[in-house]
Structure 1
Amino acid sequence: MLKILVVDDHAVVRSGLMMLLHGKHNIEVIGEAADGEEGIQAAQLLKPDVVLMDLNMPTGMDGLTATTELRRLMPDLAILILTMHDDDEYLFRAIHVGASGYILKSAPHEELLTAIRSVAAGNAYLYPTATKRLMNEYIERLKHGENTDTFESLSEREREVLALIAKGFSNKEIAEQLILSVKTVESHKSNVMEKLGLKTRPELVKFAVKKGLLNFE
Structure 2
Amino acid sequence: MIRVIVVDDQTLVRQGIRSLLDLTDDIEVVGEADDGMAALAAIEEHAPDVVLLDLRMPRHDGIWVLRALRERADGSPPVLVLTTFDNDTLVLDAMRAGACGYLLKDVTLERLTRAIRVLADGGTLISPSITDRLLRAVRRRRPADDDLPAIQRLTEREVEVLRLVAEGYSNREIAQALFLAEGTVKNHVSTMLLKLGARDRTNAVLRALHANLLD
Q: Please say if 1:163 is aligned against 2:162.
A: no
Q: TM-score, normalised by structure 2?
A: 0.62
Decide which structure has greater helix share. 1
In structure 2, distance between residues paired with 1:64 and 1:72: 13
Which position in structure 2 is the counterpart of 1:60? 59
How many residue pairs get matched? Answer: 148
In structure 2, distance between residues paired with 1:88 and 1:11: 26
Q: Please say if 1:88 is aligned against 2:79.
A: no
In structure 2, distance between residues paired with 1:133 and 1:164: 19
Deviates more, 1:120-129 or 1:59-68: 120-129
In structure 1, distance between residues paired with 2:110 and 2:23: 15
Q: 1:134 to 1:33 in 2, by over 3 A?
A: closer
In structure 2, distance between residues paired with 1:111 and 1:131: 17
Q: 1:127 to 1:103 in 2, by over 3 A?
A: farther
Detail structure 1 runs of 4+ shifted over 6 Å in the superposition: 206-209
Which position in structure 2 is the counterpart of 1:3? 3
Instruction: Write the mapping of 1:94-109 to structure 2, written as runs, cut at 5 A.
Output: 94-109=94-109
- Is the CA contact (8 Å cut-off) linking 1:104 and 1:127 kept in structure 2? no
Which position in structure 1 is the counterpart of 2:195? none
In structure 2, distance between residues paired with 1:56 and 1:76: 21
Gaps of 5+ in 1: 142-160, 167-205, 212-217
Q: CA deviation at 1:67?
A: 1.1
In structure 2, distance between residues paired with 1:111 and 1:51: 16
- Is the CA contact (8 Å cut-off) linking 2:92 and 2:134 kept in structure 1? no
Q: CA deviation at 1:120?
A: 1.0
Q: CA deviation at 1:23?
A: 5.8
- Is the CA contact (8 Å cut-off) linking 2:22 and 2:28 kept in structure 1? yes
Q: CA deviation at 1:24?
A: 1.7
In structure 1, distance between residues paired with 2:33 and 2:56: 13
Which position in structure 1 is the counterpart of 2:19? 19
Instruction: Write the mapping of 1:73-152 to structure 2, written as runs, cut at 5 A.
Output: 73=72, 74-132=74-132
Instruction: Write the mapping of 1:164-179 to structure 2, written as runs, cut at 5 A.
Output: 164=144
Deviates more, 1:105-114 or 1:72-81: 72-81
In structure 1, distance between residues paired with 2:45 and 2:207: 38
In structure 2, distance between residues paired with 1:48 and 1:133: 29
Q: CA deviation at 1:76?
A: 4.1
Which position in structure 1 is the counterpart of 2:150? none
Q: CA deviation at 1:163?
A: 2.9
Q: CA deviation at 1:207?
A: 8.2
Q: TM-score, normalised by structure 1?
A: 0.61
Gaps of 5+ in 2: 147-205
Q: CA deviation at 1:209?
A: 6.5
Determine helix, strand or coil for the equivalent of 1:106: coil
Larger Rg: 1
